[in-house]
Amino acid sequence: MLDYLRDPAAIYRESFATIEREAELARFRADERAVAIRMIHACGMTDLADDIVISPGAAEAGRRALAEGAAIICDVEMVRRGIIRSRLGKDNAVLCEVGSESARATAKEIGSTVSAGGIEVLEGRIAGSVVVIGNAPTALFHLLEMLERGAAAPALIIGCPVGFVGAVESKEALIAHRPEVPFITVRGRRGGSAIAAAALNALAGGNQT
């Protein structure tokens, strides 16, 4: 038989011990640390810590919103599926419209992707929500455009789209153009549904990793 670690608890302990040894976590506040660790754990890259940006008060705002039952709005099904429902103490609604006819029709109307259309369809649920974008830069760009035109702000934006076209730019726009809205993001091309969902799960789980 192959020689490898099989015990789930031991695997978790060693994983998080590795992150603590290798990642530069000193700059994160106590309430941000669990979020950063979970994001790193989701991708297996300890240098992700260098690119994580958590705006002042964002972790606290996200935890408070979730504890009060805020809706969670996702850009794609991969994000929605990655959310650990057992950590949501208020049976929070977890919403994603990317597969709906409404999203497809709206995408044509706004001249963008179905992911962006799905965010537009959910405009009425955005106020006070936690918006989690882990795939589509167009969804993050469109959310920022909606806020610029006067849409009610969410309690928190977790904006971690991934890729080579628009990912860097959309996240920099989030950092630069909407500083009054609490946010969590990852600078650069890296991101993805697993990282975005991990950030949400860390917030929902309090300070536990």
Strand partners, 183: 157
- To which residue do tokens 């103490």 refer? 89
Q: Can you read off the two tokens belonging to residue 12?
A: 């978790």
Q: Can you read off the two tokens belonging to residue 176?
A: 């630069």
Asked about 177 being catalytic, the answer comes back as: no
Are 25 and 46 a contacting pair, CB within 8 Å? no
Q: Which residue among 23, 34, 39, 41 is the active-site one? A: 41
Buried b (16+ CB within 10 A) or exposed e, 39-64: bbbbbebbebbebbebbeebbebbbe
Task: Kindly list the catalytic residues.
Answer: 41
